[in-house]
Amino acid sequence: MSTPYHPPVKRSVEIAGHKTSISLEPLFWDWLRSEAHHLGIPLNALVARIDVQRIAAPTPPGLAGAIRLWLAQRAMNSMSESGGRGVRDDGPDALSA
């Protein structure tokens, strides 16, 4: 991708047997796919995990926002745990970020 400034792209995902569509900018789709690959799970499974955490929140955001926030929190946690070096640490609580 040549620029991060691109309008959202709508894609279909399946969560708990139900199809839904999510609009995310290509940068977030790429990042989400990369995280799913890194965790060794399908993209739909990662979205489902994020959705469960989202629904449990006191004031749940929309799913697209929850995905963006999950990715940002994961990046912040990685940077914080590595002293700002951006090295990823996927301990047992990696998905609870």
Instruction: Give pLDDT tens digits for 23-69.
Output: 999 999 999 999 999 999 999 999 999 999 999 999 999 999 999 99
Domain around 71:
9-87
97: in domain: no
| Residue 23: CB atoms within 10 Å | 14
User: Is there a domain that residue 94 lies in?
Assistant: no
Residue 79 lies in a domain: yes
| Count of domains for the chain | 1
* Separation between Cα atoms, residue 84 and residue 15, nearest integer Å: 34
pLDDT tens for 1-21 read 567 789 999 999 999 899 999
63 falls within a domain = yes
Establish if 18 belongs to a structural domain: yes
pTM of the prediction? 0.80
Gyration radius (Cα) of the chain, Å: 14
Give bridge partners of residue 14 from the DSSP assignment. 19
Residue 81 in any domain: the answer is yes
User: Which CATH number covers residue 21?
Assistant: 1.10.1220
Q: Which tokens in the block code for residue 94?
A: 């990696």
